[in-house]
Structure formats: structure tokens, C-alpha cells
Amino acid sequence: MIKKIFVVVAMLAVSAGFAQDASVSPFSYFGIGDLRFNGMVENRLMGGVSVFADSIHMNIKNPAALSKLRLTNFAVGGSNRSLTLKTDGSSENAGQVNFDYVTLGFPLARRLAVQFGVMPFTAVDYNLQNFNEEIEPAALYRYTGTGGTNKVFFSAGWGITKNISLGATANFNFGSIDRSAIYQVDGVQFGSRERSSSNFSGWDFNFALHYQGKLSENLELQTAFTYAPEAEITSENFLEISTIFANANGADIPQDVVEVDLEANGLASTVVSRPYSYSAALGLGKPLKWFLGGQYEFTKGSEFNIDFPTNTLGSYQDGNRISVGGFFIPDYGSLTSYWKRMTYRAGVRFEESGLMVNDNGLKDFGMTLGVGLPLGNFSNANIGVEYGKRGDISTIGVQENYVNVFISLSLNDRWFIKSLIR
């Protein structure tokens, strides 16, 4: 048992070093980056619906569901993102392999379980340029950014009655973002560069209420409500300005580097104000057979605020997401057909992210489809695909068509149980 714990902790520590992976999206320019989906692959394959709870799966977005966990569960997930970026008259393709989460959960008592792990929260990875020929002399603007923020989380779920559960998650946020903005005038040897970096740290919390009960012998109802209060994340900042020139290989060589005194401007240490959010979900199903659920999520995006750097703030309005999805198992106990024991999942979602681009809200639509593959001992692997569209050329000037492929592994075992020898 000690060996198992050591291996898991080591994997969590190593994974934390890879948690800041890329977004490959121009929308990651704004704020603290592109928001990642903070949930399990099983939930994402149902359009993001996270109301479902059972005895062999964890649920990062709904910690109250942990109270149903009966086995020690180790889960790890990743994805591959293929992106086609379109503007008026041009198109470009990009791709990225992402780490999504690694987590361990186990029951402490009959109706009490805990979970901890690490996952990326936002990602920044953009390389944008604009050559403005409408001014004299013409000028080139180049913007790059890398990094992101991550969460180390600890959750607990407690069943206060047979049907009602409470849960809470404490998240420690950490990470860094590096940005660069370069301005060059046509025909002039030297350009100017502004380079900044921010290191983030701070706590946020999520609280959940879950109900699960039978409406009849074959029909079960599940409902859930989650609430994340407003959080303030500290940002330690750095800024330098320099002149640059390009060498024969095209590399930018800085000259006359000057570090800006942010302390004098009150910007050396600032706060990122993350707004409150909540979700409400409802689902119906037959245990071990099928489930269908719907979920509404709201974020008070109009209260999001970041003081540094000011040129990446953008503007925000309140955001929301509507998700519908579920699963179907042809025959959970089949002894003759592996296909009948598989879990088939599907979902659809529509999101108004809250980010305003060119005075229009950024919208996101996605459809998911996937399967859960039984591995024995209640363990399973999950694979699936998501197709979606974010943005619109006619309103904000940019559109992303994306295909995400997900894969996860969920391993179950009995820990902390003494064997009896007679």
C-alpha cells in the first residue's frame, strides 16, 4: 500500500511540471488565458454534464458526488486538439497534445470520500502579427504569449443522509504567463519590444449539494447545485522595455534594456479578481443501464478584473453554458459480448463565454461522442471525440473549427481494507 501511495504522489509531482500546456488559440491573448474544461473525460463526453454520481467514478466539478465512491480510484486524462483558424480570406491549421488531469480518490467511511490531484486551469499560447500598410511609414506589430495557470485541488464529499450529499473543493492556483509585444516601423533598423511576466498564486473554493433517489423501481433522479464564490489570485509582475534589431537569422537581439519600476506604479503585485459562478443540473436514469441529464452554468464575467498587463484585459460580460448529455449500457452484466458491456456516451453544449471581441460576445458550440471500455475490477478506459466551433467570422472576424480527441484511464482497487485469514 505504501508503494502505491508513493507512485501516485510521484506521478502527481511530475505531472504538475507539465500542467502548463498550450492553448493554440488567439483567444488565449486575453485575460489570464484560455479557460480549460475542469472536469473528467467521462463528464466531457456527456457535453460537460457533471450531475451523475456512482460508486466507481470521481467527479471534479461536483465534489458532493464523491460520497458515493466505494473503491480507491486513480484517474488520468489527456487530449489532442486539432484546430482550423479562419479569418476573412485566410485559414491556418494547428494542433496540440494536452495533459488534462491526474487525480486519486478513496473512501474514508461509508458515506465519506476524498480526492486530490492537479490539472491545468487556463492556457496561453499565441503568436499574432499585423502589418499595417494604412499608415506611413507602414508598421509591423507582433504579439506572443506562453504559459498558463494550474490547480492543485483537494475535495471531500459527505453523505449527510442516504440521498443527500455535501461536498467542497479547495484549489491552490499557481503558474506563470510570459508575454511579448514588438513594434517595428518599415525601413527603420531598430524596433521596440515590451516583455512582461506574471507569476500567479492563490486559493479558490467550490461547494456542492447533490441529491440521488429513486422515483420508482427502475427510475432514479439525480440533481446537483454547485457554487464557487469570488476569488482573488495574487500576481507578481515584471516588465521591461528594450530596442531590438533582427540579426541575419531573423532572431530579435535586444539593446538598451530597461526594467520598468512597477513598484512605483503600484503594479509590482496585483490581484486577479475571478467572479463567482454556479451551476444547476438534473438527470434521470436507470441504474447500470442509461442516464440523461441537463446542466446550466453561470459565471459573473462582468466582474472579472486583471490589473496587469492592461493591454490584454479585453472586455467581459456575464457568461453561461447549457449542456445536455448521457450514456447507455446495452447489458452491464453480459458474459458473452464485450460490446454490450461498453458505456456509450454523447452530449451537446452551447456556451456564451463572456469574452467580448470586436464588441461581440464569443460563443462556443460543441458535440461529443465516446465510449467507456471495461478493463476488469471495475476499471475502465474512455475514448471520445468532440467537434465544435468557436467564434464567427461575420461578427468577431475570427472562427475556430476544432476537433478534440480525449482519452482517460480510470483504475479501481480496494485499499485500506484488511484481509481476514481463517
- Asked whether the whole model's pTM tops 0.85, one would answer yes
Q: Where are the domains of the chain?
A: 2-340+350-357
Q: Report, as ranges of residue numbers, the positions in the chain whose pLDDT lies below 50.
A: 1-21, 419-422
Domain 2-340+350-357 has CATH 3.30.40: no
Model pLDDT, residue 420? 44
Contacts of 23 (CB under 8 A, 6+ apart): 33, 34, 96, 123, 124, 125, 126, 148
Beta pairing, strands 34-35 & 112-132: antiparallel
* Paired sense of beta strands 72-87 and 164-185, if any: unpaired
Residue 79 pLDDT: 95
Alpha-carbon gap, residue 153 to 101, rounded angstroms: 11
In 38-138, beta strands by DSSP E: 72-87, 90-109, 112-132
Task: Quote the pLDDT of residue 251.
Answer: 75
Predicted pLDDT of residue 358: 85
State the Cα–Cα distance between residues 51 and 324, nearest whole angstrom: 11
pLDDT in tens, 152-162: 999 999 999 99
- Are 126 and 135 in contact by the 8 Å Cβ rule? The answer is no
pLDDT at 2 (0 to 100): 35
What is the structure's pLDDT at 246? 74
pLDDT in the model for residue 313: 60
